Chains A and B, each alone.
Chain A
Amino acid sequence: MERLIYFIRRALRNMRQCLFLCSVAIGTTAVALSIIAFFAIVVLNVQQITADWSRQVEIVAYLDRVPDAVTLQGLQSKLLALPEVEKIEYTTSDEAFSQFRKRLGNDADLLDGVDSDILPASFKIALKPPFRNQAGVDTVVARLQKDVGLDDVKFGREWLEKFESFVALLKLGGAVIGGFLLFAALFIVSNTIRLTQYARRDELEVMSLVGATSMFIKTPFLIEGAIQGALGGIAAIVCSFVLFRLFLYESLSALLLASGSGTIVFLPLSFQWMFLGAGVFLGFFGSLMSLRKLVRI
């Protein structure tokens, strides 16, 4: 424990004595993580929009004839018993007719003289979130046709296909760009730390000449790397929050408003912890990688 306190004290003293080099390492980590954080905010919000859009994935099953109360209750229980179904909404012929009339607006008089039971009764079936996709819809449609006996089923197949490919593209793009940014961050941070340590190679040499063990030499540098990484992570969160408020908030709000979805969000707390952890990871492993080359006893 005493040794650990000594190492931490030395790491802090090193940082104080090499303030410029230390600031460079923290700054680089902060910039690299800010870019990733900024990207993560965009992806998170766009994902939120798509999640909102996915609520529109629903199935409408039309009934050939108006069922009696007992049959209707039976159908409703069968539908609700399906594991994929979140909720159902029954629309009678009359309700469908009046909704149609409302939708026609000024042209509603076209329906004058038409029987109100001309439109079929229907069930609007909303799916649980994991099943709001092509596969989920296909499964439910098959069950409706086979198990429930509802043959006349409609859903926006074309829209669903387009939506699915958009979400897939978004996920792939997010993963590729995110992965690339993370790799770039590791590369940039580890090289910056290597340069800062290279500038202090005399210190490493002197330590080794006065009989310091490899662990004694490396530990304060690793602690220093982790502290710098953590500070870089905090700076990245603060920096991305400022950028978010200044630039991203307006444009994302406009996008959300256009799509009619909810509010835009900054990185959730779990993500903020992740960024702090990523900073510590980058600093620690960046130091470890460069020390392996610089410290040779």
Chain B
Amino acid sequence: MIQIYNVSKAYRRDASALSDLNLKIPKGDFVYITGPSGAGKSTLLKLLYAAEKPSRGQILINGQNVTRMSGRRIPELRRHMGIVFQDFKLLNSRTIFENVAFPLEVQGKKRFEVSKKVFQTLKLVGLEHKLQSLPLELSGGEQQRVAVARALVVDPLVLIADEPTGNLDPEVTLDIMGLFRGANARGSTVLLATHDREMIRQFPRRVITLENGRLADDRMP
């Protein structure tokens, strides 16, 4: 369960990225966060994975108050999250296997556990044959699938994706959306920031619309 109470975020004194936002997202939900550029979608997601702290208000994830969390506890919070970005954020000097294994190594998992889980996850996204490739040897769609695999490998409670299909063609977008829906079906709460209306129409779910940092609309399909 994600609870957001009266959250505001201002990067500068005169410009608010988010204003007085209140939301409740039940466990296992699939939510689109949409709105025009600069509406505050990315800021909201950054607040959720504690890359930013809100200027005001409280955020609770599974009962834990993220806004009061000390720097030392943030890594623990992120270990239960999967985060996917528009620009993939893969380590180009590492192989696909190493990229996907990274979150598990961070958690101190044993080598054989890591290998087994990475292989399973890469199989899930259809890239088990590219284990030893480097990210730049892959297409954009494949790179995003690796990024999704890296997010899914930890069986995240919350899967956060910021414009994950922004750079991809419609066919690949379908593939990626399939992966998110699969993760949601396995129990992950999915928050997906997008301004792709077509995608929302094709896979209708709850849609939260932000405008100028405020909640403009929150509707179920």
Contact = CB atoms under 8 A, between A and B. Distances in A.
A210 B150 CA distance: 9
A165 interface: no
A51 interface: no
Interface stretch (A122-130, A185-193, A211-219, A233-241): A211-219
Given A17-B94, A297-B74, A210 B108 contact: no
A1 interface: no
B15 interface: no
Interface in B110-160: 150, 154
Nearest to A210: B103
B150 A203 contact: no
Contacts of B108: 3
A17 B154 CA distance: 25
A18 B75 CA distance: 26
A17 B93 contact: yes
Interface in B61-99: 71-72, 74-79, 81, 83, 89-91, 93-94
Contacts of B105: 6
Contact of A212 (B75, B89, B90, B154): B75
B106 interface: yes
Interface in A281-297: 297
A206 to B, nearest CB: 6
B93 A212 contact: no
Nearest to A213: B75
Contacts of A167: none
B93 A207 contact: no
A232 to B, nearest CB: 22
A212 B106 contact: yes
Given A202-B89, A297-B71, A207 B94 contact: no
A211 B93 contact: no
For the side of the interface on B, what is the size category?
Answer: 20 to 34
Nearest to B98: A13
For the side of the interface on A, what is the size category?
Answer: 10 to 19
A207 B75 CA distance: 10
Given A17-B94, A213-B75, A207 B89 contact: no
Contacts of A206: 89-91, 102
A190 to B, nearest CB: 23
Contacts of A213: 72, 75
B89 A211 contact: no
Contacts of B75: 208, 211-214, 216, 297
Contact of B106 (A18, A205, A207): A207
Contacts of A212: 75, 106
Nearest to A205: B89
Contacts of A216: 75, 106
Contact of A211 (B51, B72, B76): B76
B161 to A, nearest CB: 13
B167 interface: no
Nearest to B107: A211
B49 interface: yes
B91 A210 contact: no
Pairs A-B, 5 closest by C-beta atoms: A211-B79, A211-B78, A210-B103, A17-B93, A212-B106
Interface of B: 49, 51, 71-72, 74-79, 81, 83, 89-91, 93-94, 102-103, 105-108, 150, 154
Interface of A: 3, 6, 17-18, 202-203, 205-214, 216, 297
